[in-house]
């Protein structure tokens, strides 16, 4: 392999990594920066109330802290529905830029909150960030899917999960006392220059070739975009020909709000939505387990010091899994990985329940529970999570891609909120069997749906996959 080929590969990975981190740097950091410096934020809230000549009771603290944590879900759900408007009407680049610009404002609001002791700014910043990250995440997936060469589409899209998991771990580590946890101003300052850099960098990246050709009918710009993302020596005419074939079966180039009705009335679109939601069902368990793993392990009498590091260990397993998964996504195929790895994760969850129930009899089983949680996160990161989040983009034509993402992500968000708030109350009643009721049973149902109806998408053009969902062709 020549030097020129290596340089081309390095350049291509750098560009797609830049796209991935432009969305997921702030997304991953915002997901976990509150997890570790909990006591420091409690001090911040107390001092804020004192400066306002008010007294913060435990009840007030509990309500305010829950609002700070859970306002994320509200903002994210609202932001999901801005994505079709921005990404479809104005372009993926416009949606990405607006999202990153608002993320920068959200980061500045968080910083001002801790400088001026204004908790309401922290809430506003977190709400704004979550809303815009719902847009930028979808913009990111659309970019990675629509700009990458077909034979590298899976690997390049995996960069989104690698960047997200890495920033989740980074945010968690930065919040420890050993790093920035004792200095909330420094912790909140950390994200601002990076958000600024990514916002500026996006101005220099072209719009996706598929949007330029299908939605804007701008062939010269689409050609330049292909050369930028695929390389100057790429077969531009062949790439554009495949893009044209993707748009041939659609009467309109740009989605409208009636597209929401169409994705439920058109059989192939409805099937794509059901498959995407079924895949996303397998992502629900990780975050409840990750965020509450310390509690679950303490309930089976694992040493408190060991249990307190369980979230970090799980996140590290998640990161390593995403890196490993990127090496085999184009070798094994989406369908094979998603089905087999989801089955493995369910087996690990069942084994966790068995070990937890037997731990009072055999003390060593409680350490097995920790190993199983880390293994679960690794398997999730190496296939289940990344594929579930981007598979919807490979099942529908360009014009329906953003609206399908929004529909599936919003339904998944509702499910996540319901099950996340249900797990601890149910756990207190039935113990670890709550995992089987809330996670394993729904996941098993989704496995059957995916087994019978999910086509293989590896190495195939989108129009070929859509044709199979229409019933015109079969997977080879």
d(CA 363, CA 361): 6
Name the more confident of 306 and 17: 17
d(CA 286, CA 18): 26
* Token code pair at residue 357: 């129930």
Q: Out of 108-112, 273-277, 413-417, which region has the weakest mean confidence (pLDDT)?
A: 413-417
- Which of 48-62, 196-210, 262-276, 451-465 is modeled with the greatest confidence? 196-210
* Token code pair at residue 78: 């609202």
Name the more confident of 355 and 291: 355
Q: Out of 21-35, 108-122, 148-162, 462-476, which region has the weakest mean confidence (pLDDT)?
A: 462-476
Q: With cut-offs at 50, 70 and 90, classify the pLDDT of residue 476.
A: very low
Mean pLDDT of the 54-81 span: 88
Q: With cut-offs at 50, 70 and 90, classify the pLDDT of residue 333.
A: confident
Phi first, then psi, for residue 151 (nearest 5°) are -70, -10
Mean pLDDT of the 391-399 span: 88
Mean pLDDT of the 375-400 span: 92
pTM for the predicted model, two decimal places: 0.89
Domain covering 3-205 assigned CATH 1.20.1250.20 in the classification? yes
CA distances from 50 to 44, 55, 56, 63, 121 (A): 10, 6, 8, 17, 17
Question: Which pLDDT value is given to residue 304?
Answer: 74
Mean pLDDT of the 118-141 span: 94
Mean pLDDT of the 254-279 span: 83
Question: Which pLDDT value is given to residue 28?
Answer: 92
Domain limits, the chain? 3-205, 265-470
What's the CATH number of domain 265-470, 1.10.3720.10, 3.40.50.1820, 2.40.50.100, 1.20.1250.20?
1.20.1250.20
d(CA 374, CA 376): 5
Of 240, 272, 256, nearest to 391 by C-alpha is 272
Question: Which pLDDT value is given to residue 260?
Answer: 75
Mean pLDDT of the 300-305 span: 80
Question: Which pLDDT value is given to residue 382?
Answer: 94
Question: Which pLDDT value is given to residue 160?
Answer: 94
Beta strands in 309-412 (DSSP E): none
In this structure, are residues 128 and 106 in contact, taking their beta carbons and an 8 Å threshold? yes
Contacts of 104 (CB under 8 A, 6+ apart): 192, 195, 196, 199
d(CA 133, CA 122): 16
* Token code pair at residue 264: 């439920």
CA distances from 228 to 140, 144, 403 (A): 17, 13, 27
pLDDT > 70? residue 258: no
Q: With cut-offs at 50, 70 and 90, classify the pLDDT of residue 383.
A: very high
pLDDT > 90? residue 331: no
Mean pLDDT of the 406-426 span: 88
pLDDT > 60? residue 472: no
Mean pLDDT of the 319-348 span: 93
Q: What is the mean pLDDT of the chain?
A: 89
pLDDT > 60? residue 391: yes
Fold match between domain 3-205 and domain 265-470: yes
Q: With cut-offs at 50, 70 and 90, classify the pLDDT of residue 92.
A: very high
Q: Which stretches of 52-118 are DSSP H helices?
A: 58-80, 83, 92-116
Max CA pair span of the chain = 71
pLDDT > 90? residue 248: no
Question: Which pLDDT value is given to residue 210?
Answer: 92
* Token code pair at residue 152: 């590298």
Of 384, 407, 104, 162, nearest to 262 by C-alpha is 407
Mean pLDDT of the 360-382 span: 91
């Amino acid at each position: 392999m020549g030097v020129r080929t290596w340089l081309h590969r390095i350049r291509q990975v750098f560009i797609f990594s830049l796209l991935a981190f432009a969305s997921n740097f702030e997304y991953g950091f915002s997901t976990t920066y509150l997890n570790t410096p909990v006591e420091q934020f409690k001090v911040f809230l107390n001092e804020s109330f004192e400066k306002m000549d008010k007294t913060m009771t435990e009840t007030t603290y509990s309500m305010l802290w829950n609002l700070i944590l859970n306002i994320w879900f509200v903002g994210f759900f609202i932001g999901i529905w801005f994505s079709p408007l921005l990404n479809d009407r104005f372009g993926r680049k416009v949606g990405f830029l607006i999202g990153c610009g608002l993320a920068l404002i959200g980061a500045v609001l968080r910083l001002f909150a801790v400088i001026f002791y204004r908790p309401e700014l922290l809430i506003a910043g977190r709400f704004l960030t979550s809303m815009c990250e719902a847009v930028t995440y979808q913009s990111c997936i659309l970019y990675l899917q629509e700009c990458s060469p077909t034979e590298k589409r899976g690997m390049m899209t995996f960069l989104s999960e690698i960047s997200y998991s890495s920033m989740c771990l980074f945010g968690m580590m930065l919040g420890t006392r050993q790093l920035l946890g004792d200095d909330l101003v420094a912790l909140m300052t950390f994200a601002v220059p990076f958000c600024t850099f990514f916002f500026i960098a996006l101005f220099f990246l072209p719009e996706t070739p598929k949007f330029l050709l299908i939605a804007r009918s701008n062939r010269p710009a689409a050609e330049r975009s292909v050369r930028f993302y695929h390389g100057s020596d790429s077969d531009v005419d062949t790439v554009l020909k495949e893009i044209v074939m993707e748009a041939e079966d659609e009467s309109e180039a740009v989605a409208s709000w009636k597209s929401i009705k169409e994705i439920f009335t058109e059989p192939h679109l409805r099937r794509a939505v059901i498959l995407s939601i079924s895949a996303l069902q397998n992502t629900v368990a990780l975050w409840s387990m990750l965020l509450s793993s310390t509690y679950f392990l303490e309930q089976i009498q694992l040493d408190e010091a060991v249990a307190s590091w369980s979230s970090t260990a799980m996140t590290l397993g998640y990161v390593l899994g995403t890196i490993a998964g990127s090496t085999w996504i184009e070798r094994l195929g989406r369908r094979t990985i998603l089905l087999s790895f989801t089955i493995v994760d369910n087996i690990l969850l069942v084994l966790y329940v068995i070990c937890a129930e037997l731990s009072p009899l055999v003390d060593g089983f409680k350490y097995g529970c920790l190993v199983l949680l880390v293994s679960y996160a690794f398997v999730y990161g190496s296939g289940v999570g990344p594929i579930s989040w981007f598979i919807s983009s490979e099942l529908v034509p360009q014009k329906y891609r953003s609206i399908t993402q929004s529909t599936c992500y919003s339904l998944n968000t509702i499910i996540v909120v319901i099950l996340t708030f249900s797990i601890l109350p149910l756990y207190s009643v039935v113990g670890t069997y709550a995992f089987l009721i809330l996670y394993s049973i729904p996941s098993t149902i989704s496995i059957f749906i995916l087994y019978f109806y999910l086509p293989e998408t590896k190495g195939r053009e989108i129009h070929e996959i859509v044709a199979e969902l229409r019933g015109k062709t079969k997977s080879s």
